[in-house]
Structure 1
Amino acid sequence: MKTIPQEILTNILARLPAKSIGRCRCVSKPWCHLLSEPHFIKAHLDLTKEFMDNERITLISSVSNTLFSTSITHHSSAEITSLATELSFVVAPDFWTEGMPSCDGLILIGNDANKRLLVNSTTNKTRELTVSPYALDPHGSFTMYGLGYDHVSDDYKVVTLSYYDTDNEYEPDCTEMFVNVYSVRNGTWKQAESSPYDHAVGHLVSGVFVGGFIHWLASRTSDYSSAIVRFDLTEEKFSELPAPSSVDGENFVLNRLAVLGGCLCMSPSNSQKETEIWVMKEYGVEQSWSKLLVVDQKASEFRPLMLISDQREVVMVKDEETVVEKLVVYNLDSATFKDITIQGAGDEFQVGGSFIETLVSPYYNDESRRV
């Protein structure tokens, strides 16, 4: 029997789902070594991102505080049913921000006031992050988180954006926005330049990673007008990204940012009959902002999560004005909704966010812990 050349074998196996790779590692020691090599993990990640056909959603049970994940695919029936899988290897997070930041299959969660975990739910690998020596006292401050990949240093980074509670008697006039950066490769924290923007604009939200930057909505300190600000993971500095020209420049700070089909998007955080979701089709190009219109006569509040069916259907979170959230699919061509029934997660849950299934390890710099 002829031996398959390693390059051809790599190209074949890199097209398999991440969970199937785990089973293939049991075939033989040479296969286990090959499928655990950094170049194979990178090749598998590149193909996964190219096809984006294994995106999953995280769910947190409001009753049992258990973490689940589920996948949503197109169905011709009037209602979509999806099975939730319990992620029992990690304690469910406190819902400390709107959403759980994710990048290349890694998810950042927190399970108490001082602990943060970086997990890959596909490989069941978990890493507890050290507490930043520059962190503010959590009892007198607020912190937002972001997670992204720096392609220059080949490193995943966790970014924290913190500011003192203005009602804090110890720091009553402090408005500085402190920025800390954690290197997954080195396992160390550093303090970056403080943000020149005002990020205390409402409820705490996770940063959105696109194009090498982590994005937040903020206010300019000069005139309090709204801005989309981005943190460069290589330069570790803030700058602005142009917003849609037709959006109110003073009030869009109350909107939400997300990622749809690999593109940055912005949507309102209030209920209305026509929800405008703006998608930046070409990153950094103001003229590429494109409007997706969601029509709902009940004037519900929606949060976009991901695209399916060749990007013609949007999976969204529907706010029911309770602790319960619902998932729906909106068809952009027919302007119709489909309800999504989640089996196995209970009737009451909150939606954390979406992620892709990869082999990327939270111990990115440690070869012995990559697999």
Structure 2
Amino acid sequence: MKTVKRVTWINPIRWADRLLRLLHIKAKTTTNFHVDLPRDIILEILSRLPAELIFKCQCVSRPLQVLTTTPFFSHMQRQRSTSVIVVQLPTSEDGPVYEITVLRYMDREFERIEEKFLTSLYQVRSCPYIFCPRFLLGSYDGFLMFANFMGLPQTFYMWNPVTGEQLKMEDVNIHICGLYFNPVRKNHELLYYTIDDLAPFGQYCNFGAHNLRTKLRRDVGKFSYPPSRHRPPVIIKGTILYWMIDRSETVFSVNRVFRPPFSDSIMSFNIETEEFSTLEPGGPKYSTTEPGGQDSDGMLRIDQLHLSEMDGELCLCDFVSRNYHQLLLSIYNQATKCWSTRTIVIRPHHPRPYVVNTKNKFFTEVVEIKDNELLLRQGNRLVLYNMLSHAFKISEMSGIRAVVHTPRIASFHL
């Protein structure tokens, strides 16, 4: 007769708390050499747990809370966390239901994991006759970022789905354009700008940094162009932020009104030196004086250019065909200051529909490039495309935006 072994499920929260109590008792009779090893084992195991379980461990044990909030453990957990695909689902525009944001979590196989609901802790003060939904911008260091682009005041939200922490920045004049970690000040900061219409030689943007821990603000300089607020910045090597410049904003000078030239389409901000500059994009050259630049199709294509990261380098994404199946990836080498362009043909084709979701200005956009796999959103579907084998997976969805998110136990106050 075959014996069947019974598998017992172990609650990691109770187990970790019990082990820590045993370690405390053992420390009274052993040397520090023997004490360090169990603590290292605890950290090793905890760093491999999902962020939700780590947060629950913090809630039931003060010693575990101290262990899991050190910079060493945060770095370890960040390296071992598994990312998910977060898709924002559309909500009804009837009544106050728009205050609830519905998010669907999916894995790389496009299997549905769960759905989360963000209900704001803050009262919405926008005009009641204007529908002002929260629009998912992106993800950074465990925080999901949202904004509304309609109505006044314009609002920027941050939310950690693991801890439940929320933050709202609401101001008529302030435009939030990025979240980053300042390695010099050892804190997370929000980069924002205001428009200075009274500048002596035209219009300038005044930039400032808002410290999330101290709540203090400081000026970081002026620049002629504003960054696009429809996508978060691409952060390369933790020190440089890149955006596409917002071409919808006009720049006024003496007796002239003009838009930024294509050669100044990419804007950068160095976190350590706090210097702004522009970068000429790689790939095809466009301007309003070249063929296709003045008509609606040409301007639409320029507006669809967006940035991503590829192998630790800045990447410019440009869909060059009307049916959005041919993609140019221009990679910028920071060391050589040169661009290299790669053409990718994505199948199957996905023609642009006549009706486009106005909540997202990008009909087709690259979500992530990692390990020779290209994750992109084409209208209402997700495509995971292998750039080596040309194999692909498709998931039909009714979403507004898709981002790759890594759950973490980060806090605004640490």
Using structure 1 for the length normalisation, give the TM-score.
0.72
- Matching of residues 238-257 of structure 1 within 5 Å: 238-241=276-279, 243-244=281-282, 246-248=283-285, 250=287, 254=303, 255-257=305-307
1:195 aligns with 2:195: no
Within 2, Cα distance between the matches of 1:362 and 1:71? Answer: 23
SS in 1 for 2:185: coil
Aligned to 2:112: 82
How many angstroms does 1:23 deviate by?
3.1
Within 1, Cα distance between the matches of 2:281 and 2:381? Answer: 29
Q: Which residues of structure 1 form unaligned runs of 5+?
A: 320-324, 343-347, 365-371
Tell me the C-alpha RMSD between the 2 structures: 3.8
> C-alpha offsets along residues 299-335 of structure 1, whole Å, 9 cap, x if unaligned?
4552111246xx233221112xxxxx33222232343
1:123 aligns with 2:163: yes
Aligned mate of 2:390, from 315, 335, 338: 335
How many angstroms does 1:20 deviate by?
2.2
- Matching of residues 299-318 of structure 1 within 5 Å: 299-300=351-352, 302-307=364-369, 311-318=371-378
Using structure 2 for the length normalisation, give the TM-score.
0.65
> C-alpha offsets along residues 77-106 of structure 1, whole Å, 9 cap, x if unaligned?
xxx442441233537995677x51432112
Q: Which residues of structure 2 form unaligned runs of 5+?
A: 1-18, 24-36, 125-131, 252-257, 288-292, 294-300, 353-362
Higher strand share: 1
User: Is the contact between residue 154 and residue 170 of structure 2 (CA under 8 Å) also seen in structure 1?
Assistant: no
Within 2, Cα distance between the matches of 1:262 and 1:70? Answer: 28
Cα distance, 1:15–1:286 mapped onto 2, change above 3 Å? farther
User: Is the contact between residue 377 and residue 402 of structure 2 (CA under 8 Å) also seen in structure 1?
Assistant: no
Cα distance, 1:295–1:15 mapped onto 2, change above 3 Å? same
Aligned to 2:345: 294
Q: How many residues were matched structurally?
A: 327
Within 2, Cα distance between the matches of 1:120 and 1:262? Answer: 25
Within 1, Cα distance between the matches of 2:319 and 2:196? Answer: 25
Aligned to 2:46: 13
Within 2, Cα distance between the matches of 1:341 and 1:232? Answer: 39
Aligned to 2:243: 216
User: Is the contact between residue 137 and residue 231 of structure 2 (CA under 8 Å) also seen in structure 1?
Assistant: no
Structure ID, larger Rg? 2
- Matching of residues 37-186 of structure 1 within 5 Å: 37-48=70-81, 53-63=82-92, 65=98, 66-75=100-109, 80-90=110-120, 94=132, 100-110=137-147, 113-129=153-169, 131=171, 136=173, 143=175, 145-163=177-195, 174-186=202-214
Aligned to 1:367: none
Within 2, Cα distance between the matches of 1:9 and 1:295? Answer: 45
Within 2, Cα distance between the matches of 1:33 and 1:103? Answer: 23
Question: In terms of mean alpha carbon deviation, does 178-187 or 266-275 score higher?
Answer: 266-275
Identity among equivalent positions (%) equals 16
How many angstroms does 1:259 deviate by?
3.5
